Amino acid sequence: MERTQVAIIGAGPAGLLLSQLLHLQGIDSIVLEKRSRTYVEGRIRAGVIEKGAAETLIEAGLGERMQQESMIHRGIELAFSGKRHRIDFEALTGGWVMVYGQHEVVIDMIAKRLGTGGKIVFGAEDVTLHDVDSGSPRVSFNKDGSHHEIACDFVAGCDGYHGVSRSSFPEGKLKAFERVYPFGWLGILAEAAPASEELIYSLHDNGFALFSMRSPTVTRLYLQCDPADDIGSWSNDRIWSELHTRLEVGGDFRINEGAVREKSITPMRSFVVEPMRHGRLFLAGDSAHIVPPTGAKGMNLAVADVRVLARALAEFFKSGREDLLDGYSETCLRRIWKAERFSWWMTSMLHRAPDDDAFGRRIQLAELDYVTGSEAASKSLAENYIGLPFDD
């Protein structure tokens, strides 16, 4: 049986960053990942990184390529009623966000961990957690037809919404909070130079649209749609037509078209479980919470979780103190619920619900008019978007 101090389930941003942060504290870990390295590095996800999250990655030694290739955004635009309005993050808060694809972050993390002797087991199947409510948990898995077991002090469940970690909590231990939204996002990745230097969030009679980017040559674009839509019913011509209609407001702004490299439909939900700990098992990232992408909080919350967890584990191994471990769930959930509120608010303000009536639409426009016309309201949006201060 192999031995490590922390067994980490999942090689996404949460698990990989935790492994790196522990490594910097001299704490050994093994990361188990169900998928192949090629699959993990190729998963396209969001790419907006909060200022604090970016600084955390840099401090962890993971920011060299990110600093060279990322794009700093000092504001966003909100488009409605035929006009665009800029929210100036820098003027309002002194902050910014960074645009750098999540899969690029994962590529950097994997290279760093493997380059410093870290152990990541890709293709780990049938992962099962044992005795997590004892002082000697174990993790078993199959790899290439062979059975393996790892003895450890702690297990970090960083394996996402569909992973095994959350389901390893005893029945009745977790309380789940969920809201499923009646719309989804149709997203495309296009080989086209971005037509704007900043993100544009647009409320249109046809539904929401978002202009974003991944690099100086690749544009990321989204349309509100029915989550039950067949992606085959959305031809490229139909997608581009809707994007032009929903985004090209206010002046002579025109989006650039290009070859569509990827398109998919993503349903939207808000989801949180409490608590995030049972015995020696801790949940982090999407295994404990999901946010709608409107607020750009998914990976940023994962970074915040593992900052808290890494500090608590480091203190335990250094001094035997358990108070930070005991407070892990409460500390994380304070930030999580604030991010859930912000993401819900942005989503509600910018999407057309199927049961919208004239009154509801006027309320949305009034909210947007207030947010863009009031310095206090603009500052509230800005400070939430760039990321609230860390509690740890």
Residues 238-272 have pLDDT tens digits of 999 999 999 999 778 999 999 999 999 999 999 99
Check: CB of residue 105 under 8 Å from CB of residue 91: no
Residue 244 and residue 261: Cα distance in Å, rounded? 18
Please pick, among 13, 100, 293, 351, the residue that the annotation labels catalytic: 293
Task: Please report which residue ranges of 94-200 form alpha helices under DSSP H.
Answer: 102-115
Question: Annotated catalytic, 385?
Answer: yes
Residue 329 and residue 334: Cα distance in Å, rounded? 9
Nearest C-alpha neighbor of 114 from the set 197, 36, 31: 31
Question: Annotated catalytic, 293?
Answer: yes
Please pick, among 73, 103, 112, 278, the residue that the annotation labels catalytic: 73
List of residues 6+ apart from 391 with CB closer than 8 A: 308, 331, 334, 335
Q: Return the pLDDT at 127.
A: 98
Residue 220 and residue 217: Cα distance in Å, rounded? 10
pLDDT confidence tier of residue 109, bands split at 50, 70 and 90 = very high
pLDDT above 90: percentage of residues in the chain: 94
How many CA atoms lie within 13 Å of 151's alpha carbon, on the beta-carbon side? 5
Please pick, among 100, 181, 222, 385, the residue that the annotation labels catalytic: 385
Please pick, among 100, 181, 201, 328, the residue that the annotation labels catalytic: 201
Please pick, among 103, 297, 328, 351, the residue that the annotation labels catalytic: 297
Sheet with 6-9, side-by-side order of all strands:
119-122, 29-33, 6-9, 154-157, 281-283, 277-278
Q: Return the pLDDT at 392.
A: 57
CB-CB neighbours of 371 under 10 Å: 20
Domains belonging to the chain, first-starting first, are 2-74+95-178+269-349 (3.50.50.60), 180-268+353-386 (3.30.9.10)
Question: Annotated catalytic, 201?
Answer: yes
**Mean pLDDT of the region 84-105:** 95
